[in-house]
Structure 1
Amino acid sequence: MPRIPYLPQDIDEPRELVDDIRSRRRGKLLHLDRMLLHSPAFASGWNSLLRQVRGKLSLSPRLQEMAICAIAVLNGADYEFYHHAPEFLKAGGSEAELDALKKFTGDENELKVFTRGERAVLRLVAEMTLNVQVEDASFAAVKNELPDLQQLNELIGVIASYNMVSRYLVALQIEPEKD
Structure 2
Amino acid sequence: MTQGQKTRLPAFEFALASPEQKAVLDEILSGPRGNLDGPFLGWIHSPQLAQHAQRLGAFCRYRTGLSVRLSELAILVTSVHWRAQAEWYIHYPIALRAGVPEALAEQIRTGATPQFDEPDDALIYAFTTELYETKRVSDATYARAVERFGHETTINLVGLLGYYALVAMTLNVFDMRAEGQTTLPFGE
TM-score between the two structures when normalised by the length of structure 2 = 0.81
Aligned to 1:126: 129
Does the 8 Å contact 2:7/2:174 carry over to 1? Answer: yes
2:57 matches 1:62 = no
2:115 matches 1:112 = yes
Residue type at the aligned position of 1:127: E
Out of 55, 58, 61, the position equivalent to 1:51 is 58
Runs of 4+, deviation exceeding 6 Å: none
Aligned to 2:186: none
Residues 54-92 of structure 1 show CA distances to partners (whole Å, capped at 9, x for unaligned) of 222321111110000011011100111111111111211
Deviation at 1:37, TM superposition (A): 0.7
Q: Which runs of 5+ in 2 are unaligned?
A: 1-5, 182-188
SS in 2 for 1:30: coil
Aligned to 2:11: 6
* 1:79-158 superposed matches below 5 A: 79-104=86-111, 110-146=113-149, 148-158=150-160
Q: Which runs of 5+ in 1 are unaligned?
A: none
Deviation at 1:11, TM superposition (A): 5.2
Does the 8 Å contact 2:86/2:176 carry over to 1? Answer: yes
Does the 8 Å contact 2:38/2:90 carry over to 1? Answer: no
Deviates more, 1:13-22 or 1:67-76: 13-22
Does the 8 Å contact 1:63/1:118 carry over to 2? Answer: yes
Out of 11, 16, 21, the position equivalent to 2:23 is 16
Out of 157, 176, 179, the position equivalent to 2:178 is 176
Deviation at 1:157, TM superposition (A): 1.6
Residue type at the aligned position of 1:115: E
Count of aligned residue pairs for this structure pair: 173
Residue type at the aligned position of 2:90: H
TM-score between the two structures when normalised by the length of structure 1 = 0.84
Q: Distance in 2 between matches of 1:31 and 1:70?
A: 17
Q: Distance in 1 between matches of 2:16 and 2:41?
A: 8
Deviation at 1:16, TM superposition (A): 2.0
Aligned to 1:161: 163
Judged with a 3 Å threshold, the aligned counterparts in structure 2 of structure 1 residues 31 and 54 are, in CA distance, closer, same or farther, namely: closer
Q: Distance in 1 between matches of 2:111 and 2:87?
A: 15
Percent identity reads 25
Judged with a 3 Å threshold, the aligned counterparts in structure 2 of structure 1 residues 94 and 69 are, in CA distance, closer, same or farther, namely: same
